[in-house]
Amino acid sequence: MIAGQLVGPMAAQDPGPARFVLRSPEVADGGILPVDFTGDGSGATLPLEWDGVPQGTASFAVIMHHVDPEGMTKWYWTLYNIPADVRSLPKNVKGVGTLGNNSVNGRTAYAPPHSRGPGEKTYIYTVYALSAPPQLGVEPANVSREVLLAAIKDSILASAELKVVYTRQGAQGAHDGGSGDGRGVPPPPRGR
């Protein structure tokens, strides 16, 4: 036995630090985002759960974003000042944390994805465990993804991602002879 090395039953008792993980009861990592959580459904926020929280966590932040084929980052949900004792967000969460803006319409709200164009799109939810709440010198309406990331960059203890994919049925209308979103509804005028 090498000095300091544990073997046998003692070695199995120390699993080491827990891994910070993000998941949803509605979709597995890499799974298909249910339509209810998009602009083609009710536009609800996805319920999220996390565990393996690092010691010293003082608050959490959540961002949902997508990188389009041109390399532009779009963000749909910016939520910060989530209390340290929170371990989940329910569907259509209200009254937890502070909402920042989104890049779809600039509002201080969740903007459900309405992807335009054919093919599968990947959306990424990220939860950040922070050693301190973000210090922001602007109103929530001016807190974009970039502003929030800049404010928390020195206080991130850990982050965890959940990637989901969505293929908008209406986006394939040009290829299959259909139009709209597959329910007879025309596509929205703006791509998201």
Question: Does some domain include residue 190?
Answer: no
Question: Does some domain include residue 40?
Answer: yes
Question: Does some domain include residue 58?
Answer: yes
Q: What is the pLDDT along the chain (192 residues), one digit of tens a residue?
A: 444 444 444 444 545 557 999 999 999 999 999 999 998 889 999 999 999 999 999 999 999 999 887 888 999 999 999 999 999 999 999 999 999 999 999 999 999 988 776 788 999 999 999 999 999 989 999 999 999 999 999 999 999 999 999 987 754 433 333 333 333 333 333 344
CA pair distance 177, 179, nearest whole angstrom = 7
CA pair distance 161, 64, nearest whole angstrom = 9
Question: Does some domain include residue 13?
Answer: no
Question: Does some domain include residue 184?
Answer: no
CA pair distance 77, 74, nearest whole angstrom = 10
Our count of domains for the chain comes to: 1
CATH number of 60's domain: 3.90.280.10
Measured between its terminal Cα atoms, the distance across the chain in Å is 59
Residue 110 neighbours by CB under 8 Å, 6+ apart: 43, 45, 64, 76, 77, 99, 102
The edge-to-edge listing of strands for the beta sheet with 21-23 is 21-23, 48-51, 88-89
Question: Does some domain include residue 182?
Answer: no
Question: Does some domain include residue 188?
Answer: no
Q: Is 192 helix (H, G, I), strand (E, B) or coil?
A: coil
**Owning domain of residue 132:** 18-176
What pLDDT score does 3 carry?
45
Question: Does some domain include residue 7?
Answer: no
Residue 190: C-alpha distances to residues 22, 77, 110, 165 (Å): 31, 18, 16, 20
